[in-house]
Amino acid sequence: MPTHLLPGSEKRLPANARDMGEADPGERLEVSVLLRRRDEAGLSDKLGALAAASVGAATLSRADFAAAFGADSADVAAVEAFARGAGLAVASTDMARRTVILSGAVSDFNKAFGVSLRRIEHPFGTFRGRTGGIQIDDSLAGRVTAVLGLDNRPQAQPHFRRAGDALAAAPTAFTPTQIAALYGFPDGGGAGECIALIELGGGFKPADLAAYFAALAITPAPSVKAVSVDHARNAPTGSADGPDGEVMLDIEVAGAVAPKAKIVVYFAPNTDAGFVDAVTTAAHDAVHKPSVISISWGSSESQWTSQALNALNEAIQAAAMMGITVTVASGDNGSSDGVAGADHVDFPASSPFALACGGTSLRAASGAIAVESVWNDGTAGGAGGGGVSAVFETPAWQSGLRATRVGAASAPLAMRGVPDVCGDADPETGYKVRVDGSDTVIGGTSAVAPLWAALITLVNAHRGAPVGFINPTLYTHATALNDITAGDNGDFTATAGWDACTGLGSPKGGAILAALSAGGPASR
C-alpha cells in the first residue's frame, strides 16, 4: 500500500454532487504522471532573469530546454518499475514534457495510488471522482510532482458569451478584421508563424471555415490542422451554444487577423490531465513549432488542486522559457469569477508567465474607436474577469501598482494582478462569426486571447523571430495601449494606468509592434 501523501493532491466533491457508489472496477483509464524537472534551481534562476528582462532576452530552443530541464531518466525508470509492480502499463513517455502516461483498470489505480474512485452525479453531468489525497509509493516520493486524470470531472469552462441572434447583423458587431483595423494592427498576415489553440471540447467543420473566410475575402483560407491529445479529437457537437462556439471563435478570430499563419488546434479532454497535456504538447511541439499559444478556457483558482495548478503553471513557464507567448482569457464573470463569496481570479490567466486578457465594450464611429469602457453587462450578461490572485506573488513587473475597488481608495497590489491587457469582449459589440452553419455574434474574453495571439503573431513575422514573454516589456511601454478609465467589473473599477478590470489597456497595434521590435531576436 502506498504510504506517501502527494502534496497538493487533495480533492473535494463539488457542491450539489451525489456519490452514486464505486466506479466500475474494470473501467479502463489513462493517468498522467508528471515528474520533477532536472536542475530545478537552474531553471528558477533563468525564469527570474526572464521576468526582469526585455524582449529579446535569451531563451532556449525546444531541444536545449528538454536536455537541461526535462525529466531525469532515473525518475522515468522508477515510474516504469512501479507500474510493472502495480499491474499498470506504460502507454507513453515524453522526457521533454516530463510525463509518463499509465494505463490500467480502476481497480488497479485504486490500489496503486491509495484512492477510491467513485461514480459521481452532478448537474453538469456524471463523472469519475475522488475525495482526499493521492498516496504514492516510497520509490516515487520526491520524484513525482502530480498524478492527473484519476478524476475526470470537467476542469474548465470556455470563456465566451453569445449575443442574441438578432444582433448578428447589428451595427455594433464587428468582423475580426474590423476590430484589428480599429486597434491599428500591423499588416503582413503572419506568414511563417504558427498559432496554437487549446480546446477542451467541441470542434470545427471545414466547410464553415471555408465559407467564413471566403465571405471576408480571405483567400487562400488559413491553414487549420487538428492535433489529438489524450485521444480527444475534432468533434463538433452541432450546437453554437456549446464548445463549438469556442472553437470556431478562436479559429476565426486568429485566422482572420493573421491569415497567413498556420493554425494548429490541440484538442484534449476537459480534465486537469487533458488541460496540462494539451499545453505541454503544444509548447514542446517540434513539428509545428508554435510561437504563440492561445487559451480561452479556465476556472477560478479555487477550483484547482495545487498539484494541477502547479503543473499547468510550470507548462506555461516552460513555454515562456522557449520563447513562446501564452495569451489567456481572464474570464467572463467579473470580479467574482462566478464563485460565491470573496473575489476570485481565473486560472491559468493568473499565471505570472501568461498574458492575461480582459474585456471591454467598444463603440466605433467613422472607422475609429469612439468609446471603450470595461465590459460589464451585469450578472446575467457577463463582465470581464479581473482582480488579485490568491496564489501567485506580485511579479517584478507589477511592483508598485495599485488596485482600486469600487467606492474605496486604491491599495498596493499584494499579489499577482489580473488582467495584463484587454480588448473588445462585450457580446453586444462582439465578433461576427460562423458556427455550425449559422452566422452569429460572440463575445467574451475568449475572443481577446486569440486576438492578442494574432497580434503577437504579426509582430513575430515582422521581427523574424518570436517575442516570447512580453509582460515585462509591456509594463514599461504603457503608452502602447489605450488606457481604459471608465467602468467596473463588479468590485474593481477602471482607473488611469493599470487596473484590475482592463490591465494596461487595449492594443495600439503599431505602437505594440514598435515596443516589441526594440529587442533582438529570440530563439525558436
Q: How many CB atoms lie within 10 A of CB 135?
A: 17
Taking alpha carbons only, the member of 295, 279, 259, 263 closest to residue 195 is 263
**In whole angstroms, what is the distance from residue 285 CA to residue 334 CA?**
34
List 151, 246, 332, 483, catalytic entry: 246
**In whole angstroms, what is the distance from residue 439 CA to residue 171 CA?**
15
Ramachandran angles phi, psi of 194, nearest 5°: -135, 130
- In three-state form (DSSP H/G/I as H, E/B as E, the rest C), the secondary structure along 93-152 is EECCCCEEEEEEEHHHHHHHHCCCCEEEEECCEEEEECCECCEECHHHCCCEEEEECCCC
Taking alpha carbons only, the member of 385, 406, 397 closest to residue 486 is 406
Taking alpha carbons only, the member of 309, 288, 198, 278 closest to residue 246 is 198
Bridge partners of 158?
Answer: 297
Which value, in Å, is the radius of gyration of the alpha carbons in the chain? 22
List 299, 300, 361, 446, catalytic entry: 446
Question: Is the torsion defined by CA of 120, 125, 127, 132 positive or negative?
Answer: negative
Distance from chain centroid for Cα 420 = 14
30 catalytic per annotation: no
250 catalytic per annotation: yes
Q: Which residues contact 165 (CB under 8 A, 6 or more apart)?
A: 438, 440
Taking alpha carbons only, the member of 487, 483, 472 closest to residue 506 is 483
List 75, 193, 250, 343, catalytic entry: 250
Bridge partners of 434?
Answer: 439
244 catalytic per annotation: no
The 8-class DSSP code of residue 322 comes to: T
Taking alpha carbons only, the member of 390, 410, 318, 294 closest to residue 350 is 390
SS3 (DSSP) at 163: coil
**In whole angstroms, what is the distance from residue 287 CA to residue 274 CA?**
20
Give residue 201's region: left, alpha or beta (phi > 0; psi -120 to 50): left
Positions annotated as catalytic residues are 246, 250, 446
